[in-house]
Structure 1
Amino acid sequence: MGQKTHPFGFRLGVIRTWKSKWYEDKQYAKWLHEDLSIKEGIRDKFKHAGIADVEIERAANKAKVVIYTSRPGIIIGKGGAGVAQLKADLQKFTENELFVDIQEVRKAETNAKLVAENIATQLERRVAFRRAMKRAVQSA
C-alpha cells in the first residue's frame, strides 16, 4: 500500500490557500500559539454567528484577522461596537497591532462547515435527523 496524502494538504497552493499567512524563524512557536488562541477566542465568543473561517496575516509587528461569517451583523454589533470590543479582546492575546476585517459568506448553503453546524443545532433542538438532512440537501 502506498502513502496516503491528506486532500487539504494536496490542494494547498493549487486551488486553496493557507489559513495563516506569515513566516517567522525565531518566534514561530509563539506566533503559532497566538494564532490558535485568537481563533479559539473568536469561535468561543461567537458560537452562533456562523463563522466559516478565520484567516490571519502577519507582517512585521502588525496582524490582520479576517473573519468569514454568514451573519456579520452579530459580530459587528450596533454602530461597529462589536468589532471594537472584539479587537480589544483579541489584543490581549498578542502584542502586535491588530486589524479586524469581517467578510460575509453570501451562500451559507455551499459552505460545508456552516451546513454541518446548522444540522448540529437542529439535532440539539431535537429535530428528526432525516428531516434535518433533507432540509440541508434541499437548501444546497
Structure 2
Amino acid sequence: MGQKVHPTGIRLGIVKDHQSVWYADKSKYGETLLSDLKARAFLLEKLKAAQVSGVRIERPAANAKVTIATARPGIVIGKKGEDIEVLRKELAKMMGVPVQINIEEVRKPELDAALVAQNIAGQLERRVMFRRAMKRAVQNAMRLGAEGIRVQVGGRLGGAEIARTEWYREGRVPLHTLRADIDYSTAEAATTYGIIGIKVWVFKGEVLGGIQAVRDQAAAAQRRDAAKKNGR
C-alpha cells in the first residue's frame, strides 16, 4: 500500500499537516480552494529563483496569512522589503482579502525534497549527466543527516530513443511506516529531448507524539526565527 499512495497524503493528520488551513461554508468551499491553488501556483512561478519549498495558506476571519518556505529569503523580501510588499499587494488583489506574508527560511535545502528535486531538474536542463546529479543529491542529503533518501528520474535519459526509469537510494525509506517523517516531492526538467520527471523521497526519522508533536516543533522553530530577527 505504501508504494501506491502519495507519501504525504497518507500521513496527513498523523505526522504531516495540511498546506491550507481554513474552514469554508459549502457554497464557498470550491471558490476558496480554487483561490488557494491559483495563489500557490502564482507564487511558485514568480519566485522560481528563490528556491521555494512550499506555501502554507491560513484564512483567519476575513484575512489570509501566507507562509512561504524558501532557501533564499533575501530574494523574496527584496531591497528594504520592496519586493515582498509588491507581492503582498498582488496576492491581496488575486485573493480578494487582506494578505499577511511570512517568510520561513529552509536552513538545510539538501534535506528538503522539493528543493532537491528542483536542483536536479536544473542540473538536467544544464545537461549534467543524470546519474551524477542523482548521486550528488543523495550524498549531500546523507552527509547532512538524512536517515534515507531515494531519487527517481524517468524519461528519455541521456537522449535515449526509448524512455526509461532509473532510481538511486541510500539508507532506508520506510513507505509503509505511517509515523515515518517522509518528505516527498516531484519536479520536471524540460530538456531538448523532452520532459524528464523527477521524484524525491527523504526519510528524516520517526515522529513520536503524532501531529501535535509536529505542530509544537514548527511553532518552536517560528519562535526561534522571530527571536533571531528581533535580535534577542
TM-score (norm 1): 0.92
Please list every run of 5 or more consecutive structure 1 residues that lacks an aligned counterpart in the other structure. Answer: none
Structure of larger gyration radius: 2
Distance 1:24 1:81, change over 3 A: same
Equivalent in the alignment of 1:22: 22
1:30-49 per-residue CA deviation (whole Å, 9 max, x = no partner) reads 11111011101101111121
Give the whole-Å Cα distance in 1 for the aligned partners of 2:63 and 2:75. Answer: 25
> Where do residues 101-140 of structure 1 align in structure 2 (5 Å cutoff)?
101-140=102-141
Q: What code does the residue aligned with 1:18 have?
A: H
Give the whole-Å Cα distance in 2 for the aligned partners of 1:116 and 1:95. Answer: 32
Per mean C-alpha deviation after superposition, the further-off stretch among 88-97 and 103-112 is 88-97
1:21-62 per-residue CA deviation (whole Å, 9 max, x = no partner) reads 001113111111110111011011111211101000001101
Distance 1:45 1:6, change over 3 A: closer
Per mean C-alpha deviation after superposition, the further-off stretch among 6-15 and 130-139 is 6-15
Distance 1:5 1:119, change over 3 A: closer
Distance 1:5 1:129, change over 3 A: closer
Q: Whose helix fraction is larger, Structure 1's or Structure 2's?
A: 1
1:54-91 per-residue CA deviation (whole Å, 9 max, x = no partner) reads 00000110110000011111111111111101101111
Equivalent in the alignment of 2:153: none
Give the whole-Å Cα distance in 2 for the aligned partners of 1:42 and 1:19. Answer: 14
Give the whole-Å Cα distance in 2 for the aligned partners of 1:95 and 1:48. Answer: 26
> Where do residues 31-42 of structure 1 align in structure 2 (5 Å cutoff)?
31-42=32-43
Does residue 96 (structure 1) correspond to residue 102 (structure 2)? The answer is no
Q: Kindly report the root-mean-square deviation, in angstroms, between the aligned alpha carbons of the 2 structures.
A: 1.5
Equivalent in the alignment of 2:220: none
Q: What code does the residue aligned with 2:128 have?
A: V
How many Å apart are 1:102 and its aligned residue?
0.7
How many Å apart are 1:129 and its aligned residue?
1.4
1:70-121 per-residue CA deviation (whole Å, 9 max, x = no partner) reads 1111111111111101101111212211000110000001111110100010
How many Å apart are 1:128 and its aligned residue?
1.4
How many Å apart are 1:5 and its aligned residue?
5.2
| Runs of 4+ residues deviating >2 angstroms | 4-10
Please list every run of 5 or more consecutive structure 2 residues that lacks an aligned counterpart in the other structure. Answer: 142-232
Give the whole-Å Cα distance in 2 for the aligned partners of 1:20 and 1:133. Answer: 31
Q: What code does the residue aligned with 1:37 have?
A: K
Identity across aligned pairs (percent)? 50
SS of residue matched to 1:23: coil
TM-score (norm 2): 0.57
SS of residue matched to 1:64: strand
SS of residue matched to 1:24: coil
